[in-house]
Amino acid sequence: MLLLPHSSVNAYQGISLQQAEEIALRRDAVSKSYNQKSLALIEQAKASNTWPDPRLKLGAQAIPTDTFDLQQEPMTQIVLGYQQMLPRGNSNELTAQSLNAMSRLQTAKSQQRDREVLMKVRQAWLDVVLSQKSIKIIQANRHLFVKMLDTSESFYAAGRQQQQDVVQAQLEISLVDDLLEQTHSRLIVSLANLSRWVGEENLQDGVAYKEDDLNLLPLPNSSSLNSVLEKNPELLATAEKIISQRAKIRIADEQYNPQWGFDINYGLRSGENSDGSDRADFLTAMVTLDFPLFTSNKQDRLLVAEKQRLQAVRYDQIDVSRMLTMNLQQVIGRLNKLRARHKLYAEKVLPQAKQNAEVSLRGYQSGVVSFFTLTRARVTELNTRLSNLKINVAYKKAYAELKYLIGEKS
């Protein structure tokens, strides 16, 4: 069972983002599966680039059935044969090329999976940080609401304010406590999601983060992003599919060529000739030929089918390229908008919310501002700080998507 870390956020001594990434990559079984498939295809390619196994024959020929005497008839012989079929054209070499391309395709899938794992674990780690840091912000603001309650109680005791102010202050504290419980619940869910990648045993103390972990990173040069995108493993995988399919087309072309083979038989005879000399052994050598004559319903159709498959893979490549370009544009757009919101909050919203809360407090203490106005100002300040945190986390999560697309691992 996944345990919730200690209530004090400052006490978290869990794993850092770099540790989470390393653990997730080591634990991922899908990437290992792709690597094993790649190795299997390499071995299969080596095996395919060899001649078919030869056939050996051993038997007796022209045995007289009246006596079964091997020396009675001159044509009786013990036959030892060797038969070997040769590959049709360069089909073996082409098959190896196709399989090697498929092996590289599996390697590309493994690289893509590694990128996906890094993106997912980064986003899951950031969700935990969001919950932990939100708890810290809420707890800090709860102390301010407690002070507001103390102030309202003292003012009520002195007859300066009504009892409603006290009740309102108690209600606000209860609402803050409810928000705190909701955030703790989200923390449990976030930890469970992160545990999928790093394991529950590594999350007993939550995650360890520094304040600068949420600093906004600068965007890469947009002019170089498209060239980097061409090295995306998903696009490289479609390129390897094209290479493999081209080899299959050439294999289909080879089916028009004859398949050669040879057959050598050695016949051992026993007994003597009529003049008393030993009977000579027989040697038989033959060449076999598999010649495709009727190609319209077999070779022609197979070749057309492979060409159609090649065109289908090309369309897949176009679609993948368009999808990656679209995703890159969307991520860049979101990052720019989030950066603009971050600037707005840093320069205006946060200072204004803080100033509004301070002015409201002084006005309430002077009796010119209602307690309701003060509580709204405090709630607004709390929500503003939480919103600013969410913007920073959303930026970092979108940046993780950008790294997934362009392949930055750090």
**How much is the pLDDT for 356?**
92
Q: Is the pLDDT of residue 223 over 80?
A: no
Query: Over the chain, what is the mean pLDDT?
Result: 88
378 and 367 part of one domain? yes
Contact 241, 48 (CB under 8 A): no
Confidence band for 409, pLDDT divided at 50, 70 and 90: low
Tens-digit pLDDT profile for residues 34-66: 999 999 999 999 999 999 999 999 999 999 988
The answer as to whether 3 is a domain residue is no
Planar angle of CA 213, 347, 136, nearest 5 degrees: 45
Residue 10 domain flag? no
Last residue of a domain, one of 269, 291, 313: 291
Same domain? 111 vs 238? yes
123 and 78 within one domain: no
Domain end (from 271, 291, 311): 291
Q: Could you tell me if 205 and 345 lie in one domain?
A: yes
Q: Do 45 and 151 have their domain in common?
A: yes
- Per-state percent for the chain, helix, strand, coil, to nearest 5: 70, 10, 25
Domain co-membership, 203 together with 273: no
238, 353: one domain: yes
State which H helix or E strand residue 194 sits in.
Answer: helix 163-198
Residue 9 confidence (pLDDT) = 40
Least confident of 11-20, 153-162, 358-367: 153-162
Residues 287, 297: one domain? no
Q: Is residue 65 located within the same domain as residue 159?
A: no
Q: What is the pLDDT of residues 71-107, one digit of tens each?
A: 888 899 999 999 999 999 899 999 999 999 999 999 9
Total count of domains within the chain: 2
pLDDT of residue 99: 96
- Name the β-bridge partners of 333: none
Report the Cα 94 to chain-centroid distance in Å. Answer: 30
Co-location of 139 and 74 in the same domain = no
Q: Is the pLDDT of residue 6 over 50?
A: no
Task: Convert the pLDDT of each residue in 337-386 to its tens digit.
Answer: 999 999 999 999 999 999 998 898 888 777 777 778 888 888 899 999 99
Does residue 349 fall inside a structural domain? Answer: yes
pLDDT of residue 251: 95
Residues recorded for the chain:
410
Is the model's pLDDT at 148 over the cut of 70? Answer: yes
Within this chain, do residues 80 and 167 fall inside the same structural domain, yes or no? Answer: no
Tell me the residue type at 16. S
Mind giving me the DSSP string for 245-314? HHHHHHHHHHTTS-EEEEEEEEEE--SB-TTSPBPPPEEEEEEEEE-----TTTHHHHHHHHHHHHHHHH
Domain extent for 75: 53-85+258-291
Residue 5 has pLDDT above 70, yes or no: no
**pLDDT for residue 8:** 41
Please give the residue that has the higher pLDDT: either 354 or 3: 354
* Residue 410 pLDDT grade (very low, low, confident, very high; cuts 50, 70, 90): low
Q: What are phi and psi of 259, to 5 degrees?
A: -105, 120
- Is 134 a domain residue? yes
The structure's pTM equals: 0.84
Same domain? For 203 and 346 the reply is yes
Residue 4: inside a domain: no
Instruction: Report the range of poorest mean pLDDT among 152-166, 205-219, 317-331.
Output: 152-166
Least confident of 160-164, 203-207, 245-249, 267-271: 160-164
Q: Is residue 281 part of a domain?
A: yes
Task: With cut-offs at 50, 70 and 90, classify the pLDDT of residue 11.
Answer: very low
With a cut of 60, say whether residue 303 has pLDDT above it. Answer: yes
Looking at residue 10, its pLDDT comes to 42
Whether residue 63 is contained in a domain is answered as yes
Indicate whether 188 belongs to any domain. Answer: yes
Q: Identify the CATH number of the domain in which residue 392 sits.
A: 1.20.1600.10
The pLDDT score that the predictor gives to residue 172 is 80
Residue at token pair 């998507």: 401
